[in-house]
Amino acid sequence: MTAPMRSDCVIVPVSFGPRSYDIVIGRGVVSTLGTRIAALRPGTKAFIVTDDNVAHHTMPAAEASLKRAGVAAARLIVAPGEASKSYPVFERLCEAILDAQIERGDLVIALGGGVIGDLAGFAAAVVRRGLDYVQVPTTLLAQVDSSVGGKTAIDSPHGKNLIGAFHQPILVIADTALLDTLPPREFRAGYAELVKYGLLGDAGFFGWLEVYWRDIFAAEVSGNSAREHAVAVACRGKAGIVARDERETGERALLNLGHTFGHALEAACGFSDRLLHGEAIAIGMVLAFEFSARRGLVPAPAAERVKRHLAEVGLPTEPSAITGPLPAVERIMELIAQDKKVRRGMLTLILVRSIGSAFIEAGVDEREIRAFLSEKLVRR
């Protein structure tokens, strides 16, 4: 296995007929934001949504690109973190877009990580009954997962992403140079969503990640395009799935590998720094493999291999790694019951037959899950 050589950028198409769009991946591609928007929507105005952290690092380059292309832009800066995916911030954003006199022919730009993409995308879905929007993901997690596929949402006290809409962007600009500014913990959390694509449907990619993950974490070095390659592979994987199943009526549910357990743990921790989203998904994927192994679906060594790789990267792999008191089993079960994959009260999990072969298992007995979690939700 060798890492691929660099090219200026990679373009991954997402096919939705007349609603198709491109994911543009490469170092420095945020500088093309304005020209690409002007080409797609001549004469448009833009409303940028970002957070305090991204505003400091990336907003100047994005605004300069828009200005060069003659795209007028207003903006709103919100607090960083999951707490901004809330009713009060959503209301504030919608009113700010209207105050800026953004019209039906204009667009919203989501400049930030998954929180900003979800929040801005949901506002775009509903303000004036729907505005176009562009995703400019600035975290690894957002570049490989949340910016692609049109899922937008805010959180509820009942759980994560329960209030939202499907609304596809018209363009995704994934500038991998922006990832150089991420804190190590944030980068590792994003890697969990990256490795997910190998675990659910591409065993070869998982094997490649085991060899080249350090190159993905490394900042720019001559001839190293491992990061761009990894982002492109993940985006192609997701693009194919969402094009076949936009509204998650079947195959798209596979993208939730590790999310049933992970979202419940994240919610139980109050969507706080105790457990970042990607960290919760890392634990959730290990639990999904271990639950599958317990059922005899996957060999135990495969589950250990997954756990070993995630631990090597520096991700938590079991609930006992969560700081503070561990959630009670009954609280986790309550949150799992709110999962969007629940159908008529029956629990659904994404399980695995091997690395690279996930499947949807409906009608899982909650008693079996409760017994499994009772063993896992203990300090070791």
List residues with catalytic annotation. 129, 151, 193, 238, 248, 252, 256, 259, 263, 277
Cβ(28)–Cβ(177) under 8 Å?
yes
- Return the structure tokens found at 275: 């457990």
Roughly what angle, to the nearest 10 degrees, separates helices 329-337 and 259-268? Answer: 120
Please return the burial class of 343, using the count of CB atoms within 10 Å of its CB with bins 0-12, 13-18 and 19+: exposed
Nearest to 136, CA basis, from 275, 265, 36? 36
Helix (H, G, I), strand (E, B) or coil at 262: helix
Which DSSP symbol is given to 153?
A: E
Cα–Cα dist 144/189, whole Å: 12
347 DSSP assignment: E
d(CA 316, CA 80): 23
Q: Residue 23: is it exposed, middle or buried by C-beta count within 10 angstroms (0-12/13-18/19+)? A: buried
| Beta pairing class for 132-137 and 151-156 | unpaired
